[in-house]
Amino acid sequence: MTLPALLALADGSLFHGTGIGVEGTTTGEVVFNTALTGYQEILTDPSYSRQIVTLTYPHIGNTGCNPVDVESDAVCAAGLIIRDLPLLASNWRSTETLQDYLRRNNIVAISDIDTRRLTRILRDKGAQNGAIVTGAAIDADAALAAARAFPGLKGMDLAKVVSTTASYAWNDGSYDLDRTEFKRTPGTFRVVAYDFGIKHNILRMLADRGCDITVVPAQTSAQDVFALKPDGVFLSNGPGDPEPCDYAIAAIKQFVAARLPLFGICLGHQLLGLATGASTLKMKFGHHGANHPVIDIASGRVMISSQNHGFAVDEATLPANVKATHRSLFDGSLQGIALTDAPAYSFQGHPEASPGPQDVAGLFDPFIQMMQSRQRAAA
C-alpha cells in the first residue's frame, strides 16, 4: 500500500509524492546535494542534523544499505527527498533496502516528486525551511504551518546537541578494499578530537596517519584538553551555526595561544576562523555535493572536493595573521585558512570525502608534520 506524502516549503511550494519512510511529520532546512552516490554516508553525516536533504541524482537506493557505509551511529538527516526509488536494490554488500533502512531508523522521507523543480527553487530563493508530512490524511495548511514554524539554522547551536556525552578512544583505521577489516597503524601522535558531530572517516584517516585519538565532547574546556597532553587538537565538522558555539571558540583561542598544532574541518574550520576574530555568514544555498572544484591559492592547483556546508568564513573579515589558502571555483567563497603566527589551519570542504573524491586527502598531512616538529622540538 502506498503512503501519501507532501513536502511543503516555507515559500508556499507544495510537492505531492509517495512516503518511503515512516508515517509522520519532519521539519528542517531543505538543502540539495548533487552527489551521484553515497546516500548512506550523507544520511548518517551528523552535519545534516535538522536538515532535510534532497538528492539531485534521480535514482537513489540502487545499491541498498549495509552496516558499514555509515559516518556515525545514527541517521542524522531530518528527512530525505528523492525522485525515484528503484524497485530492486542490488549490491553484494547490501543487507537491506533503502526503504527498510529508512523505516528502521524512523525517518520520514518522500519520493516521486520533481526534485529538479525543487532544486531550482532552492537555488533561486536560497535554502528553505520545509516539512515532509506522510500519512493517509494530509493537510496542506498544516504542512505549510509546520514548515514555517521551523526557526531556521541561523543562530542554532547544534554541535553541543549532537556531540558525544563522554570521551572515548578511537584507533580504527580505514577498511581494507573489501571493507571487512580495519587497518591499524601504531599510534605515534596523541590527538584530541573535538566531536561537534564528527564523521567516522575523519577518525579513520587520522588513525591511518599514526594518531592515537581521544574524542571529547564539544564543551570540553581547554584546561581538560591540556591535561591530556596532546600533540595536536582536531576540530570536527558538525551541524548548525558556528557563531553561537562560544565554548568552542574560547577553547580554540587558548590552543592557538599555546601554539598547539590545530586542524579543523568544515564546522571546525568556521570555529577556527571565529577564534581568530573573523566573521561567518549564512550562504544562500550552501555547498552540498561531491564534485566541487577548489583552488589551492599558493600552488594554483585545482582539486575536486566533497562539500557540505551552509555557513562560511567571510574572507573580507580575516585578520592580518590569517591567510586564505583555498577558494571555491564555483562561487569564489573562502575554502581554507592558515595562521601565519601559529601552527593552525583548516579547510571548509571534506578531505575525508565519504562520499566523494579523494583529491584533498593530503590536507591531513600538514597536521601530522606540525605534530612531528613539536615532538622533535620537545625531545
Ligand X SMILES: NC(=O)CC[C@H](N)C(=O)O
Task: Give the DSSP per-residue string, 245-266.
Answer: -HHHHHHHHHHHHTT--EEEET
Min dist CB 163 to ligand X, Å, is 13
Nearest residue to ligand X, by Cβ distance, number only: 266
How far apart are alpha carbons 268 and 251 in whole angstroms? 12
Written as one letter, the residue type at 340 is T
How far apart are alpha carbons 157 and 274 in whole angstroms? 14
**352 flagged as catalytic:** yes
Catalytic choice (29, 71, 243, 352): 352
Q: Which residue shows C-alpha cell 622540538?
A: 377
Of 1-9, 69-77, 178-186, 309-317: span binding ligand X (CB under 6 A): 309-317
By CB under 6 A, residue 237 contacts ligand X: yes
Out of 203, 267, 278, 368, which residue is the one contacting ligand X (CB under 6 A)?
Answer: 267
By CB under 6 A, residue 305 contacts ligand X: no
Choice between 44 and 237, CB closer to ligand X = 237
Catalytic choice (65, 266, 269, 287): 266
**211 flagged as catalytic:** no
How far apart are alpha carbons 32 and 107 in whole angstroms? 18
What lies within 8 Å, CB to CB, of 92 at 6+ separation is none
Question: All 3 cell numbers of residue 33?
Answer: 546535494
By CB under 6 A, residue 328 contacts ligand X: no
Of 235-243, 254-262, 271-279, 353-361: span binding ligand X (CB under 6 A): 235-243
Are residues 335 and 247 in contact, defined by beta-carbon separation less than 8 angstroms?
A: no
Out of 47, 63, 306, 328, which residue is the one contacting ligand X (CB under 6 A)?
Answer: 47
**288 flagged as catalytic:** no
Are residues 49 and 239 in contact, defined by beta-carbon separation less than 8 angstroms?
A: yes
Annotated binding site for L-glutamine: 47, 238, 240, 267, 270, 308, 310-311
Q: Which residues bind ligand X (CB under 6 A)?
A: 47, 237-240, 266-267, 308-311
